[in-house]
């Protein structure tokens, strides 16, 4: 007993005399256990969870039954692809990561900042938070980001391999991806949209089979294209979901053939939902070469710039900040204006951008404007998204496979929770991300 006491006292003395950093290292918690060797995040771009539940989608429904499903999962605001696909790998809201929407934004000097349409890799420098790809690389793990639209790769910093679908997919199909007809045929247009996802999955699986990356994100965009072209309430939108269900089945079959499915977690989600709109009424039409001007603001001499952050919402930059309240009042008088959000306390807006986690100083629009669902922004499309409405914000979220509890149904989750949860599954500390989201511990097997 005396020997044990002496040994304990000696250990205390050693730790007390050790440098502060060494004492912290000695007390540091062990790294989390690795629950999966591979994590594959399948994004069903633009998929509404209520329609997914009604669809004939046996593969996705079986994944949900064998894993954990969140019934009240929500994306970020604005509910738009460009923004969400940076929130996904960073676990951060746009107010934290700095990609606030639109093809381009205006900085504090009223200069245009491209958001990655032409060169998403260059735009990665604009992302103000680390990504889970960087965390994986730092831990010696490899990763793949397969992007259907190309600009998703703004969030791919640190990925070992990337696929830019804008450059790798069939040109004829890609050219008509948002059209309701191709060569005069709606059936051909719908088939083209589906073929793009099949091509991207094929390209993804080539790398997965050859390289066996630990982390994969693939964006299957067919549902989004069908939603814009035909509307989310129509049969073609549901058929696109059912087609992607078959592709997810092909993915699972490939994992079985590679012998890695038992140690793989599959996460299925989406970047946004969808709203049916009236395509015959268009606000700030894209054909306006002057920069999508708003007539009522122009008539008042309010210099402004409209940024398309999704067809059901827009960002408005106002040159003279003293006229923001006047611009808000003018927009509220428009029959298509559903809500206005801003930071200016004198603006009289419905909510602050900061409360929506959407304010990034020097880059965010002065106003975010949600449009009523009887109009479309920029383009005459049957379906749009981007607003704070439930139909636009609700997303599916299914976790299934290695490390995930079976047969669980949970309530609330956010898109920003995916990144820290992915790192937890891979045995990596999520704190390195500085995420706004949380680890979905309730979904993980204990």
Residue 397's alpha-carbon distances to 153, 249, 269, 344, in angstroms, are 21, 17, 5, 35
User: So what's the pLDDT on residue 317?
Assistant: 95
User: So what's the pLDDT on residue 274?
Assistant: 97
Say if residue 341's pLDDT is above 80. yes
Mean pLDDT rounded to a whole number for the chain: 91
- Quote the Cα angle for 69-70-72, to 5°: 155
pLDDT band at 446 (very low <50, low <70, confident <90, very high): low
User: So what's the pLDDT on residue 19?
Assistant: 47
* Average pLDDT of span 193-207: 98
Whether the Cβ atoms of residue 419 and residue 432 lie closer than 8 Å to each other = no
CATH entry 3.10.129.10 includes domain 38-275+388-443: no
Say if residue 327's pLDDT is above 50. yes
Alpha carbons 100 and 155: distance in angstroms, whole number:
13
Q: Which has more confidence, 94 or 103?
A: 94
User: So what's the pLDDT on residue 431?
Assistant: 81
Give the count of beta carbons closer than 10 Å to the beta carbon of residue 6: 10
CATH class of 282-383: alpha beta
**Which range is least confidently modeled, 31-35, 134-138, 163-167, 354-358?**
31-35
What are the pLDDT digits (tens) for 54-76? 999 999 999 999 999 999 999 99
**Which range is least confidently modeled, 25-39, 43-57, 145-159, 261-275?**
25-39
User: So what's the pLDDT on residue 432?
Assistant: 81
Say if residue 291's pLDDT is above 80. no
User: So what's the pLDDT on residue 379?
Assistant: 86
Q: Which residues neighbour 165 within 8 Å (Cβ) at sequence distance 6 or greater?
A: 146, 147, 148, 149, 150, 174, 196, 199, 200, 219, 221
Say if residue 1's pLDDT is above 90. no
CA 18 to chain centre: 46
User: So what's the pLDDT on residue 406?
Assistant: 96
Whether the Cβ atoms of residue 177 and residue 225 lie closer than 8 Å to each other = yes
pLDDT band at 373 (very low <50, low <70, confident <90, very high): confident
Domain coordinates in residue numbering, the chain:
38-275+388-443, 282-383
Say if residue 301's pLDDT is above 60. yes
User: So what's the pLDDT on residue 319?
Assistant: 95
pLDDT band at 103 (very low <50, low <70, confident <90, very high): confident
What are the pLDDT digits (tens) for 212-221? 999 999 999 9
Say if residue 232's pLDDT is above 60. yes
Say if residue 338's pLDDT is above 80. yes
81: its two tokens: 């692809």
* Average pLDDT of span 6-14: 38
pLDDT band at 364 (very low <50, low <70, confident <90, very high): very high
Say if residue 356's pLDDT is above 80. yes
**Which range is least confidently modeled, 26-35, 57-66, 149-158, 213-222?**
26-35
User: So what's the pLDDT on residue 101?
Assistant: 85
367: its two tokens: 């106003």
Say if residue 83's pLDDT is above 90. yes
Say if residue 24's pLDDT is above 60. no
**Which range is least confidently modeled, 8-17, 246-255, 372-381?**
8-17
């Amino acid at each position: 007993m005396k020997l044990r006491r002496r040994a304990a006292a000696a250990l205390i003395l050693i730790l007390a005399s050790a440098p502060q950093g060494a004492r912290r290292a000695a007390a540091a918690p062990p790294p989390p256990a690795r629950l999966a060797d591979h994590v594959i995040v399948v994004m069903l771009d633009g998929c509404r969870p209520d329609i997914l539940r009604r669809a004939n989608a046996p593969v996705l429904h079986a994944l949900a039954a064998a894993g954990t499903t969140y019934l009240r999962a929500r994306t970020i605001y604005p509910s738009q692809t460009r923004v969400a696909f940076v929130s996904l790998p960073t676990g951060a809201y746009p107010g934290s990561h700095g990609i606030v929407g639109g093809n381009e934004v205006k900085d504090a000097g009223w200069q245009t900042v491209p958001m990655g349409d032409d060169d998403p890799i260059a735009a990665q420098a604009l992302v103000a938070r680390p990504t889970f790809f960087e965390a994986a690389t730092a831990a010696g793990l490899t990763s793949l980001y397969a992007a259907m639209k190309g600009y998703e790769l703004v969030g791919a910093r640190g990925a070992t391999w990337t696929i830019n679908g804008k450059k790798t997919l069939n040109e004829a199909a890609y050219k008509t991806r948002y059209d309701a007809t191709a060569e005069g045929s709606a059936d051909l247009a719908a088939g083209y949209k589906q073929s793009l996802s099949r091509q991207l999955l094929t390209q993804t699986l080539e790398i997965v089979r050859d390289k066996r990356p630990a982390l994969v994100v693939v964006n299957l965009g067919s549902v989004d294209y069908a939603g814009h072209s035909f509307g989310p309430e129509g049969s073609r939108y549901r058929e696109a979901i059912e087609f992607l269900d078959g592709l997810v089945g092909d993915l699972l079959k490939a994992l079985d053939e590679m012998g890695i499915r038992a140690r793989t977690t599959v996460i299925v989600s989406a970047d946004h939902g969808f709203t049916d709109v009236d395509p015959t009424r268009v606000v700030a039409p894209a054909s306006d070469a002057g920069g999508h001007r708003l007539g009522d603001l122009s008539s008042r001499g309010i210099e402004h710039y409209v940024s398309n952050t999704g067809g059901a919402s827009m960002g408005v930059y106002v040159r003279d900040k003293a006229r923001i309240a006047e611009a808000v009042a003018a927009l509220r008088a428009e029959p298509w204006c559903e809500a206005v959000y801003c930071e200016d306390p004198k603006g009289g807006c419905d909510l602050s951008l900061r409360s929506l986690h959407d304010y990034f100083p020097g880059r965010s629009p002065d106003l975010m404007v949600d449009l009523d669902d009887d109009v479309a922004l920029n383009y005459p499309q049957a379906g749009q998204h981007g607003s704070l409405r439930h139909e636009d914000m609700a997303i599916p979220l299914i976790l299934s496979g290695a490390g995930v509890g079976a047969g669980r149904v949970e309530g609330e989750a956010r898109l920003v929770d995916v990144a820290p949860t992915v790192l937890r599954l891979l045995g990596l500390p999520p704190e390195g991300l500085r995420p706004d989201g949380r680890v979905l511990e309730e979904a993980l097997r204990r």
